[in-house]
Structures are given as structure tokens and as C-alpha cells.
Amino acid sequence: MQVRTLAHRVESIGAGYVALTLELPQERVTSMLLFISSMTDLCRSITTKARVSTVADRLEDSQEQRDIFYQKYVDSVVSTFDGFIAKGENPRVALSLTSSFIHESQPNSSYDQVKKILSDAKRLKKTGYYKSPSQRFD
């Protein structure tokens, strides 16, 4: 297979622009256009993959940040509840006080979220929350 150079001309047309002229045999125009189209598709694909990769990296970073934020939230709920229990509060009252206290700094917090966090941390069971009031001090 013989490789020939592609006849071309580059002319300055002013204002930072150049004109590129390619000289092709008529039977090669279609194959040249297909090549240019393929290269355009390749460049689009590379650009899209680079964008997706960047977004994926950002998602991983933001997921780590969300996990850290949630863990701090859980720690503050548990430590607040433990503080009220240490002061001698009834577990049900401590849960309500914890929910109110946490809601002041975290407006999206709710009683049910606080209760679930404390239940998952086994704090409610340990403090007798699920026992009836007459059984708690037996």
C-alpha cells in the first residue's frame, strides 16, 4: 500500500483565521467525509467520558461528605440523649427533649428520625424505654 500525502493549502484570511483547502480525487471525498465524521464522533465520545468521569468523582466526594455529616448528626443525637439520661430524665422525656434540642440546630430533624437513631444505637432498650412505667425501676 502506497501512502501519499494529502494535497492541501493553508492561507491566512486575517483576524486570527486560516483557510484550509484539501485537494482530493472525487472518488475519495466520501471516504474522507466518513473519516472526518468518525473523528468527530470519537472526540464527542472522549469529551462525554471525561465529563462523566468528573461527575462520578464529585459524587463520590459528596457521598463521603454526606456520610461524615450524617455520622456527626447521629453522634450528636446519641450524646444529647445520653446527657439527658445522665441527668436522671425518664427515657420518654429524654427522647422528647433530645428531639427538641436537635431540631433547633437541625431544622430537618424529626422526632421519628431521632427515635430511629436511638433505637438503632440500642439506647432506648438500655434505658427501659420499652418497659411500662411500673416495670422500669424493678
Nearest alpha-carbon partner for 25 in 11, 40, 4, 39: 4
**Mean pLDDT along residues 9-20:** 88
CB atoms within 10 A of CB 130: 11
Residue 17 has pLDDT above 80, yes or no: yes
Amino acid at 96: S
**Greater pLDDT, 40 or 129:** 40
Residue 12 phi, psi (nearest 5):
-75, 130
Q: What is the pLDDT of residue 138?
A: 46
What confidence tens digit (pLDDT) does each residue in 99-130 have? 999 989 888 889 999 999 998 888 887 777 76
Distance CA 116, CA 119 (A): 5
Q: Is 121 exposed, middle or buried (0-12, 13-18, 19+ CB in 10 A)?
A: middle
Q: What is the pLDDT of residue 78?
A: 93
Rg (CA), the chain: 34
Q: What is the pLDDT of residue 123?
A: 85
**Greater pLDDT, 12 or 130:** 12
